[in-house]
Amino acid sequence: PEGTFTDRWTLQEALQLPADTEKTAQTTMPLITSWPQGAQKTLPDQWVWDTWPLKTEDMQIATVRAADGTPYYVLIHLSVDDSVLPGARHDLATLRYSYSTDGRSWQPGGYLFPEGVVLGSRNWAGSALLKADGSVEVYYTATGERDEGPVQGPSSVLERQQVGDVQGPLTADGQLVPQSGSGFPNEGGIGFEQRIALADGVKAEVVNGRVVFSGTWKHRVILRADGTLYQTVAQSDAGPLYGFRDPWAFRNPADGKRYVLFTGNMGGLKSQQTCQPEDLGDAAFRAGLGALNAEMPLHNGAIGLAVETAPGAWKLLNPLLTARCVNQELERPHLVMKDGQVYLFFSSHIGKFAPYGDLRDRGEEGLYGFVGDSLRGDYTPLNRGGLVLNTPLTQRYQSYSYDVLPGGLTTLFVDVPGIGNQDISVVSTLPPEEQRAVFGGTLGKTLKIDISGGSTALVSELNYGQIIP
| Sites for ligand FRU among residues 210-239 (CB under 6 A) | none
Find the shortest distance in angstroms from Cβ 94 to ligand FRU. 11
Find the shortest distance in angstroms from Cβ 364 to ligand FRU. 14
Per CB under 6 A, 41 contacts ligand FRU: no
- Of 252 and 348, the one with the shorter C-beta distance to ligand FRU is 348
- Of 279 and 365, the one with the shorter C-beta distance to ligand FRU is 365
Per CB under 6 A, 242 contacts ligand FRU: no
Find the shortest distance in angstroms from Cβ 97 to ligand FRU. 16
- Of 219 and 245, the one with the shorter C-beta distance to ligand FRU is 245
Per CB under 6 A, 121 contacts ligand FRU: no
Per CB under 6 A, 334 contacts ligand FRU: no
**The binder of ligand FRU chosen from 137, 165, 193, 246 (CB under 6 A):** 246
**The binder of ligand FRU chosen from 12, 121, 263, 398 (CB under 6 A):** 263
**The binder of ligand FRU chosen from 245, 352, 362, 376 (CB under 6 A):** 245
Given a contact cutoff of 8 angstroms between Cβ atoms, the answer to whether 370 and 343 are in contact is yes
**The binder of ligand FRU chosen from 17, 64, 78, 92 (CB under 6 A):** 78
Tell me the per-residue interface mask from 293 to 332 with ligand FRU, x by CB under 6 A, - otherwise. Answer: --------------------------------------xx
Find the shortest distance in angstroms from Cβ 344 to ligand FRU. 16
Find the shortest distance in angstroms from Cβ 122 to ligand FRU. 8
- Of 124 and 356, the one with the shorter C-beta distance to ligand FRU is 124
Tell me the per-residue interface mask from 90 to 119 with ligand FRU, x by CB under 6 A, - otherwise. Answer: x--x--------------------------
Spatial separation of the C-alpha atoms in residues 22 and 121, rounded to whole Å = 43
Find the shortest distance in angstroms from Cβ 103 to ligand FRU. 22
Spatial separation of the C-alpha atoms in residues 218 and 345, rounded to whole Å = 30
| Sites for ligand FRU among residues 377-406 (CB under 6 A) | 400-401
The residues of the shown chain that bind ligand FRU, judged by CB under 6 A, are 49-50, 78, 90, 93, 124-125, 141, 245-246, 263, 331-332, 400-401
